A and B are shown apart, each in its own frame.
Chain A
Amino acid sequence: MHSENELGYQTRSDGFGILYGEIAGALIERCGRNGMGIVRKAVAAYGKKKGKRLREQYMGSGVRTDLHNLMAAEDGCWKDPRTLKTTVRDTPEAQLWEIYSCPLEKNWRDRGREEAGRLYCEEYLHALMDGYGEGAGQANVSNSKTCRRDDRCVMAMYCRTANQNETQKGTGDGNGIIREIPVEESTLLLYRCFIEVMKEEKDAEVVAAVTYGIKNGAEIMAETLIKKADHVGRSLDEDFLMEFFPFCRMEELREDRILRQCFLHVFDECLQKGGWL
């Protein structure tokens, strides 16, 4: 049972998982080991940028850049109500936690994207910590639900003041506002990291795989949105998309050539079906 707000959040979160799963899946299937390397690079770039963005956001608003505040905004999964998590320790220098139900993992498993999920979990938290801690601190993912052996995620992060220089310690005093980076911003950031890595590769097969993955993702998202609108008795209009679609700011779609190619025709059809266009 979830509220309408939660349903919107969950659907946007699923959109992130779908997009990642389809791009990463296409790269792994079409480009093999090289594709896996590209996926890892993109996830690492995404995690690092997200960590840096959080750090800058905190520094700008006077929030202490410690691990308690990192976890308040980002715990490796979303603030998705479907996440079932136990916090084992919550201090500024150490965070220990376990996750028993992860919507991203379920999303990938349901659609046969387990391998893509495994790569994500191996890279993401390490990169997030790297970006947030400016090189001080460490992330540990001893178990993750995306690994066949495991039935839960077992994670820890440490960032000791004894290991930090003055820059790494930051200047915040902990009294500012802590805000999660919205799912839609994360989705766009992840997408852009894939595009950056793809451009660096200068390989036609990689470009084809990424484009194919985005198109597939767009189609799956469109189907999901049509179904969701029907299930909640809503029109498939701009208001609905703002709540349920991870690329909710449609101008992003229009400004980006690849996104426009991959998404707009799908959503034009989708919006026509919903009577919005």
Chain B
Amino acid sequence: MIKIDKDFYENGQVLFIGYSGGKNRPFSKMVYQAFTNNGIKVYALNNKAEGDYDIKVYGSLGELAEVPTTAYVLLKKENVPGILKELGARGIKRIQFQSSRSADASVLEACAQKGIETAVACPLMKFGSGLHRLHGFFAGVR
């Protein structure tokens, strides 16, 4: 069972790493809206700075005046190790990975070694509606 409560998102903020302005934009937007409609402020990040029509997308952590302590990662797992070091250095304490495609055992192990708490679950299981919540129920997201 994965427990994700509001405390996981300290100060009601989350850093959304891998916000897509490309073909995954609809999904990224859905997650963004689910977070924000539940009172969680989202800082969207994409190092390609693809941007979006509605949402400000930061190109790097350096652009943020204040880095949240929780991150949500929507990247392919081969791209994750490259950012873990920087996230740890910028004070990230908790990371939520979208799915096992974003984090395998080695990634979770690397997070544990850096003292970063992890969860692997789609945010929509917690903050979405309808079928997403049902999916979350069967996936054990509480």
Q: Please determine whether chains A and B interact with each other in the same assembly.
A: no
- Listed in ascending order, the chain A residues whose CB lies under 8 Å from chain B are none
* Interface residues in chain B, defined as those with a beta carbon under 8 Å from any beta carbon in chain A: none
